[in-house]
Amino acid sequence: MNIIFKNILKNGYFIFGIFLFTVLILSFTPNHFLNAQNNRQETYKQLSLFGDIFERVKEQYVEEISDKELIEAAISGMLQSLDPHSAYLSADDYSEMQVKTKGSFGGLGIEITLENGVVKVVSPIDDTPAFKAGMKPGDLIIGVEGESIRGLPLNEAVEKLRGPIGTKVKITVLRKDEDPFDLEIIRDKIKIRSVRYEIINNVGYVRLTTFSQTTTSSMVSNIETIKDKLGDKLEGLILDLRNNPGGLLNQSISVTDAFLNNGEIVSTKGRGKSDIERTFAKPGDILENYPLVILINNGSASASEIVAGALKDHGRAIILGTRSFGKGSVQSIIPISNSGAIRLTTSRYYTPSGISIQAKGIEPDIVVEAGITKKKKEKSSVREENLRGALDKKEKDNSNNDNSESLTKIEKLLEDNQISRAYDLIRGIKLYGKKNSLNKKKLVNQNPHKNKIG
């Protein structure tokens, strides 16, 4: 009897469980499906509106236009409405973009974005037609060949700037605190040398103009050359990221990794809470902890900011110059069925300290404005060596035997106010380190109690 009662009770709970589950399903499922159905209906409604407009444009527009042109324009508009960096890439655009990341393409040599409907120059690329014509970061391009391009989608503005190599294009530029003016630029094949180096006395100088597929390997090779040439005389390195508009994310990570032994380099966070990726450094500092100064300005964007932000957060480098551009978003290139692609903003990146630089930029440790610093020759100074009959130096001065072209390059570099300050900073750090070490040894040797046992 007890067993039967227990079975009834057990089955009763089971039946009650089924009843409760059924009630819950009936309570929540209709709302869920209703919401989903309403969302679908709204989507169908908007697509129906799109189809209606598509047909009207196709039938009534003053000129005949193909379905392909209309649909591509609609896709382009959809992506451009999201942010200045998302875009539709036709098959030709996608192919050209792949060539650009390899370091060679045709054009003016500028990285541009769209700001409030106006084309803005992020940075001119070194030694390109735009750079030689005097374009600067922050310049606004408001006209091409006398026609306004205000309000045009970015891809249409780019099309107007493009043209056959060797042809001229007149662009109207608006620069802060100046009246609009025209620049005539000859289009050319853009060959980007993404890395170059110089040796300023005992300080290495490496300039990165962009982050292409070969940037890290070229940089490492150049730094090894500097180390081989200077040996123990090496005092430090200046890494110049000014007017570097960015490029490949993986290259910015590997460039940063080259100077760190451990720790986080960058994290990217997408829309979902779990959509987080963190990248960490592997052991091995190519500079072996020698002083590192990084130069940035308002033309340093994206990948440049990842490098500067990570090395600043880790205390591995001193950042000198002016605030960077502030592009803290990551774009994914997603190939699509027509051999084209979409460039879609899929995440934001954060420095190791968790700071997003989107629209804020990287603040330098030492603010130094751009400018020219010319060393004044000491014409009026009289030294012992200038006096008639002065004794000769015991050691011969071989400084005049140096390559004059090399000296000219160094002089030109040091005329740059920011490079000059970075150079002085590294030499100061090295000198302080030497003096501090010598003073400690001197104090130890002078201590009368150093050998006494208390």
What amino acid positions are annotated as catalytic residues?
A: 302, 313, 327
Q: How far is 194 from 442, CA to CA, in rounded Å?
A: 47
Query: What is the number of alpha carbons within 13 Å of residue 102 lying toward its C-beta?
Result: 8
CA distances from 399 to 201, 232, 396, 427 (A): 11, 20, 9, 19
What sections of 295-403 are H helices per DSSP? 303-313
Cα–Cα distances (Å) from 338 to 60, 172, 260, 334, 344, in that order, read: 28, 35, 42, 12, 17
- For the chain, the C-alpha Rg in angstroms (whole number) is 31
Q: How far apart are CA 287 and CA 290, in angstroms?
A: 6
Residue positions counted in the chain: 454
Residues 6+ apart with CB under 8 A from 278: 264, 266, 267
Question: Hey, what are 386's tokens?
Answer: 């200038």
Q: How far is CA 336 from CA 94, 268, 339, 421, in A?
A: 10, 24, 6, 49
Contact (Cβ atoms closer than 8 angstroms) between residue 373 and residue 414? yes
Do the beta carbons of residue 157 and residue 143 sit within 8 Å?
no
